[in-house]
Structure 1
């Protein structure tokens, strides 16, 4: 989820098709699809008759599907996410048309994410853009590597997972930032897509630009709050 917004975006009712818990307090919400989107774009989401500002969420699904999928985690002190988690099929939410410039393409790139920040890369993968990509995904616990089977299928050994509290087959123990710092040769000519919490995005951008010599304009970021 990116930051909240005011109301410059028109919101339209979307029917809930399904909701599934994929980890404790983490859900995938499937909505009817009313607008076309590009992989990596976001939508503003609010509840009907809600005076609170809409929140932005990356679309986590294929542009070819007939549904609009959102991955979100419940913020205990939040207004919107606890209510989203209680939705049932047939309910309605207010959703904007998709927008944003964090858009994937067919060029080689590295995707770097923490937690639910992997959502736009789900969309890019399901859009057929993963064949020349590397995904670096960090999480605190092993159950927070969302859509792991999708990435294993499409990325193979170009899918790298880092967990700060545990180790498992195909999952390294530690922080993805430490791995990036120790990596001897990062490609200089490709784009790096960063998606996750602000602290991670700032730190990874610093590593890429200041330590590894990646051109600043080759680092694209989407910050989650």
Structure 2
């Protein structure tokens, strides 16, 4: 279907049930789950019917009563400053979930930067973390969202990489530096979620280390 004829998904009014600032400028906003979804899928979100929606990964398990969305405030943006100021009872406009960046029960590595952790947290909450390694790269230590829960559950299979601050049990550098330091990588699926530059750099590095292109699945955040 061409771009001219492709229909935008319909948006439905949803009532905000909660809005927590979990780190400076980073929020988790919630609303009731009125439909089924698969872990890793996205929704389109708008604050009214006059402005175009943006795409966000669902950040909650698919059996939970609420759907949660993780986002950071874009100071020059329209949508996120309004979302950050919302309180329970306010309205959002949400599409039904869609997308093919889906978690499975197969062994895999999950690789994320920043808020790109969202779909992997949804997969984890849906019970798909067995046989998984999760690598999360951030600039500052307060950006390891959900780290206490993930560390308690996944143990050594939860790897944190921080490029600008240091702490015990955290790799001092970017994800690419961590991957480069490994003598070999397992022959599993690699799921990448983050900004385009990270996805390209990590994809190329994985290929250089012998991972087949068909085993690399990417979701790019804009």
TM-score, structure 1 length as denominator?
Answer: 0.94
**Count of equivalent residues:** 217
Contact 1:14 1:34 in 2 (8 A): no
Instruction: Give the Å deviation of 1:150.
Output: 1.9
The residue that corresponds to 2:220 in the other structure is 223
Query: Residue by residue, what CA displacement relative to the aligned partner does 1:33-80 show, whole Å, maximum 9, x if unpaired?
Result: 11111100000000123x221100000001010101000000000010
Task: Write the distance in 1 (CA, Å) between the matches of 2:167 and 2:104.
Answer: 32
Contact 2:30 2:69 in 1 (8 A): yes
* Partner residue of 1:198 out of 196, 213, 219: 196
Residues 7 and 20 of structure 1: is their aligned pair in 2 closer, same or farther, counting only changes over 3 Å? Answer: farther
The residue that corresponds to 1:3 in the other structure is none
Task: Write the distance in 2 (CA, Å) between the matches of 1:35 and 1:94.
Answer: 14
The residue that corresponds to 1:11 in the other structure is 11
Contact 1:44 1:95 in 2 (8 A): yes
The residue that corresponds to 1:141 in the other structure is 140
Instruction: Give the Å deviation of 1:7.
Output: 6.1
TM-score, structure 2 length as denominator?
Answer: 0.95
The residue that corresponds to 2:113 in the other structure is 114
The residue that corresponds to 1:104 in the other structure is 103
Q: How does 1:1-225 map to 2 (within 5 A)?
A: 8-49=8-49, 51-188=50-187, 190-209=188-207, 211-225=208-222
Task: Write the distance in 1 (CA, Å) between the matches of 2:61 and 2:162.
Answer: 27
Q: In structure 2, the residue corresponding to 1:166 is in which secondary structure?
A: coil
Calculate the aligned-residue CA RMSD, in Å: 1.1
Q: In structure 2, the residue corresponding to 1:45 is in which secondary structure?
A: strand
Instruction: Give the Å deviation of 1:182.
Output: 2.1
Task: Write the distance in 2 (CA, Å) between the matches of 1:27 and 1:13.
Answer: 20
Q: In structure 1, the residue corresponding to 2:153 is in which secondary structure?
A: helix
**Dislocated runs of 4+, deviation >3 Å:** none
Q: In structure 2, the residue corresponding to 1:81 is in which secondary structure?
A: helix
Query: Residue by residue, what CA displacement relative to the aligned partner does 1:187-211 show, whole Å, maximum 9, x if unpaired?
Result: 12x10000011110000000011x1
**Which runs of no fewer than 5 residues in structure 1 stay unpaired?**
1-5
Task: Write the distance in 2 (CA, Å) between the matches of 1:156 and 1:182.
Answer: 20
Instruction: Give the Å deviation of 1:153.
Output: 2.1
Q: In structure 2, the residue corresponding to 1:120 is in which secondary structure?
A: helix
**Which runs of no fewer than 5 residues in structure 2 stay unpaired?**
1-5
Instruction: Give the Å deviation of 1:32.
Output: 1.3
